[in-house]
Amino acid sequence: MSFVRSERKCIEILRILKDYQEPVGAKRLSEMMAARGFVLTDRAVQYYLSYLDDTGFTRKIGNRGRVLTKAGIAESENALVDERVGFVISKLEKLAFRSNFDPETCTGNVAYNLSFVPEEEAEGVTKAFDDVIRSDYGFFTSYKIIDSDPRIPKGHVGFITVCSVTMDGILQKNGIPVRMAFGGTMKVRDNRPMGFTELIGYRGTTVDPLMLFINSGMTSISETTQTGNGTMLANVREIPESSEVSVMSIAASMQKAGFRFPVTTGCGVMNVRPDPYRTSIIAYSGMNLIGCGIERGYNIKTEIGAGNISYSKFEFK
C-alpha cells in the first residue's frame, strides 16, 4: 500500500511512532508534531491516524494509541529521504537557540536528550552513566532521573542528559558564530585522545551521526572507561579563528559549572581538515553516556534533542 508522499504530516506521524515501542495517543502525537513545526489539533491528528489505519501503516491498540505495522515501518524509513537531509542539524540548531545558560551565574536553560529504560535496568544504566562521567568522557557531569514524564512508557525510568548543543547556544549568545560540523569516533589510548577514525557531516545526513556509530557497533565506550583504551564519541565545531581566545574563556567558566570541554582546539587538530580561517573545537559528546549503556546490553531508547530544561534541575554528586 502507498499514499501521496508529499503528505508531510503523515510522514512525520510515522517517524514519531517509529521511535516508540509503546502505543502513542493522539494528544501526545499532537504535542510532538508541534515540536516539529506542525501545529495540529487532537481532532486533526485523529483524522490523519484514521487515514494511516486505512492504508495499513498504523494499527490501533485499544484506547492506548497507535503503533506502526511492518508496512508503516518500511514507509517511515523510505519516504521523503531527500527532504530529511539536514533535518537533524536543523533540530539541534533550534535547541541551541533556545539554550540560554549563563555560565557566570549558573542560570538559564540547557538542551537535553531524553532516554528511557525498563525499570529493572535502571540501576545498571545509572552505573554505566556514572562510569563515563567518572572517566571524564562525557560532556556534563550530571544527569537527571525522572519517572513522571508522559513521554516515558509505563514500567520504564527516564534519564535526562545534557546535549552538547548547549555549548552552541552559549557561544552564540556571546556573539561567537559557531557551526556544528561533524560527529565522529575518537581513538583513545592511555586515556589520551589520539584522533578521529570516522567523521560524518551533520548537514548532509538524515540520521544523527553519533547514534549511527553506536548502533553500528563502532564504539567501545564501556571498555575505554575501564581501560583507558578504545573508541569514544566526539563532535567537531568550527568557529572564526579570531574568536578562539574568547571561546576558551567561556569554556573555563563552563568547566566550573560542570561541563567537560573542550578536548582540544586548533586548526587541523585530531585529523580534522585544516581551514585557514576557522578553528575547530573538539568535545566529547553527551551521547557517550547512552552509548556506554547500550554497549552493556541495556534496552535504552533515546530522543536526541528532546527539549530544553533549567540547569537548576540537575544535582551534582
Cell of 203: 548537514
CB 45 within 8 A of CB 26: yes
Taking a C-beta distance cutoff of 8 angstroms, is the pair 110, 257 a contact? no
Q: Are the C-beta atoms of 176 and 247 separated by less than 8 Å?
A: yes
Q: Decide if 157 contacts 117 (C-beta within 8 A).
A: yes
Please tell me the distance from the alpha carbon of residue 111 to that of residue 100, in angstroms, as a whole number.
9
Cβ neighbours of residue 74 closer than 8 Å, sequence gap 6 or more: none
Query: pTM for this one?
Result: 0.76
- Backbone φ and ψ for 73, nearest 5 degrees, come out as -60, -45
Query: Is there a contact between 189 and 174 (Cβ–Cβ < 8 Å)?
Result: no
Q: Closest by alpha carbon to 180, among 168, 190, 169, 192?
A: 168
Distance between CA 111 and CA 257 in Å, rounded? Answer: 15
Q: Which of 146-150, 186-190, 229-233 comes out lowest in average pLDDT?
A: 146-150
| Rounded CA separation 32/37 (Å) | 9
CA dist 61 and 66 (Å) reads 6
Sign of CA dihedral 36, 39, 43, 44: negative
Amino acid letter, 221? I
d(CA 293, CA 185): 17
Find the largest Cα–Cα distance for the chain.
Answer: 60
- pLDDT per residue over 22-66, tens digit each? 889 888 888 888 777 777 777 888 888 988 998 899 999 988 899
Mean pLDDT of the chain: 89
Distance between CA 267 and CA 273 in Å, rounded?
A: 8
Cell (9 digits) for 196: 578521529
* Cα distance between residue 47 and residue 69, in whole Å: 18
What tens digit of pLDDT does each residue of 59-85 get? 999 888 999 998 888 877 776 555 555
Is the model's pLDDT at 1 over the cut of 50? Answer: no
Q: Pick the more confident residue, 201 or 289.
A: 289
State how far the Cα of 124 lies from the Cα of 146, in Å rounded to an integer: 16
Q: What is the DSSP letter of 142?
A: -
* DSSP SS3 for 288: helix
Residue 253: which residues within 8 A CB-CB, separation 6 or more?
A: 103, 104
Determine the average pLDDT of the residues in 308-313.
94
